Amino acid sequence: MSDLIVVERIGAVATVVLNQPARLNALSQASWRELGARMRELSADSDLRCVILRGAGVKAFAAGADIAEFPTVRADAAQGRAYGELIQAAMQSIGSCVHPTIAMIRGACIGGGLELALMCDLRICGESSRFGIPINRLGLTMGYGELTGLLAVVGPAVALEILLEGRVFGAQEAHSKRLVHRVVADERVESEVHGTAQRIVHGAPLVARWHKRFIRRLALAPQLSSADWNEGFACFDTEDYREGLRAFLSKQTPQFTGR
């Protein structure tokens, strides 16, 4: 294992750290793969009672996927599909974890970072945290797998608002949209998350796992056809995606044509 994802363990609580603070914890292709592997390992550990997911440092939970890689790893629909399957595996490793999960959010929680946080059972952030999914500026869609967590938490109306505007907004608005459960002073985020983890640890672990399983069953996730799934990757073959990526990497304003 590399140091892209670091796992720290204290008693029955494991903390998974997205460990690229110099890049605001942006997730590379290797990071997505390793995150999924580490989360699956933790889910299989029956001695655990809670998993905390956080970003290294205080500037970001995660700024999303590492867009600098996209010209080589997400350049067309075929690559987009493979990358999407990798993201989906990482998301599902969190969403299907048998142990309760908490997202500790400080700073930026943007794009794929917000998608990861939404797969956690609980989300606690600091007052200065910022949220959003501005992928409309890239000419890029959220795939069906990535949309699952957003829709489950905020519903279609708010999901459309977030995606159509691509706006970045603050912690109190995120709380009003139900993206986070609690907003606390920045200096209290860590203590609040660890206090929450300890309350979970002191509960019956089998009951926590059963409650997670029952709620997943009752949520009635929609079933998608293979055609539905594949349509989500068509954006990678558009001129708008190539223009959005070019503009982002060159720090320019994209000129979209709708082609």
pLDDT value for 101: 98
83-87, 99-103, 121-125: which has the minimum mean pLDDT?
83-87
For 125, 216, 238, 247, the CA distances from 243, given in Å and listed in that order, are 34, 39, 9, 6
Q: Is residue 204 part of a domain?
A: no
Across 142-162, average pLDDT: 91
Copy the structure tokens of residue 67.
Answer: 């867009």
Across 141-170, average pLDDT: 92
Percent share of the chain, pLDDT over 70: 98
Q: Is residue 81 part of a domain?
A: yes
Determine the 3-state secondary structure of 17 from DSSP: strand
pLDDT tens digit sequence for 178-216: 999 999 999 999 999 999 999 999 998 888 988 998 888
Total domains in the chain come to 1
Determine the 3-state secondary structure of 102 from DSSP: strand
Decide which of 114 and 242 is more confident: 114
Answer yes or no: are the C-beta atoms of 187 and 36 closer than 8 Å.
no
Q: Rounded CA gap, 142 and 144, in Å? A: 7
Residue 256 has pLDDT above 90, yes or no: no
Residue 57, domain CATH: 3.90.226.10
pLDDT value for 224: 66
Q: Is residue 10 part of a domain?
A: yes
What does the mean pLDDT of the chain come to? 92
Residue 222 has pLDDT above 70, yes or no: no
Confidence of residue 221 (pLDDT cuts 50, 70, 90): low
pLDDT value for 133: 96
pLDDT value for 135: 92
Residue 220 has pLDDT above 80, yes or no: no
Percent share of the chain, pLDDT over 90: 72
Q: Is residue 181 part of a domain?
A: yes
pLDDT value for 170: 98
Q: Is residue 246 part of a domain?
A: no
pLDDT tens digit sequence for 1-43: 579 999 999 999 999 999 999 999 999 999 999 999 999 999 9
Q: Is residue 236 part of a domain?
A: no
Pairing of strands 130-132, 169-170: antiparallel
pLDDT tens digit sequence for 109-137: 999 999 999 999 999 999 999 999 999 99
Q: Is residue 85 part of a domain?
A: yes
Copy the structure tokens of residue 112.
Answer: 């794929």
Q: Is residue 206 part of a domain?
A: no
Q: Left (φ > 0), alpha (ψ -120 to 50) or beta: where does 199 sit?
A: alpha
Q: Could you tell me the residue range of the domain that residue 174 belongs to?
A: 5-185
pLDDT value for 1: 55
Mention every residue, 6+ apart, whose C-beta is less than 8 A from residue 156.
none
Give the chain's length.
259
